[in-house]
């Protein structure tokens, strides 16, 4: 999608602090970190959000879930981490390209 911020990051039109990439995903540091470590993991293909998944995305989603703990460990999060996926306006989603937040390090409050 030409007007999608994260597609522009994938294409290199907007710079990012990339920490990982493979043929299906890239991961980069959030520009406004809410924790000591705050990564965004996104598929290379444009998917608006979880509400737009189809059956053909199942392998991709499985791959993303599989690499999340590896990414977290690679950033020093050896004692656990938090993942967040905001979906749609009522879910607080600001960027309309599916992304998984990985948060960790010092200062994570309890989630309740």
Active-site positions read 99
Q: Binding partner of residue 57 among ligand 5GP, Zn ion, none, CB under 5 to 8 Å per kind?
A: none
Contact partners, residue 67, CB within 8 Å, separation at least 6:
20, 22, 25, 41
Question: Could you give the CA distance from residue 38 to residue 55 in angstroms, rounded to a whole number?
Answer: 29
Q: Binding partner of residue 93 among ligand 5GP, Zn ion, none, CB under 5 to 8 Å per kind?
A: ligand 5GP
CB of 38 to Zn ion, least distance (A): 20
Q: Examine residue 40 and tell whether it contacts Zn ion (CB under 5 A).
A: no
């Amino acid at each position: 999608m030409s007007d999608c911020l994260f597609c522009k990051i994938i294409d290199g039109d907007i710079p990012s602090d990339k920490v990982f990439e493979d043929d299906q995903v890239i991961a980069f540091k959030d520009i406004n970190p809410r924790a000591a470590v705050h990564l965004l993991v996104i598929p290379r293909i444009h998917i608006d959000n979880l509400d737009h998944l189809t059956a053909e995305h199942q392998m991709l989603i499985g791959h993303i879930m599989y690499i999340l703990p590896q990414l977290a460990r690679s950033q020093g999060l050896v004692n656990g981490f938090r993942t967040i996926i905001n979906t749609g306006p009522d879910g607080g989603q600001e960027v309309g390209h599916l992304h998984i937040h990985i948060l960790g390090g010092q200062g994570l409050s309890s989630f309740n």
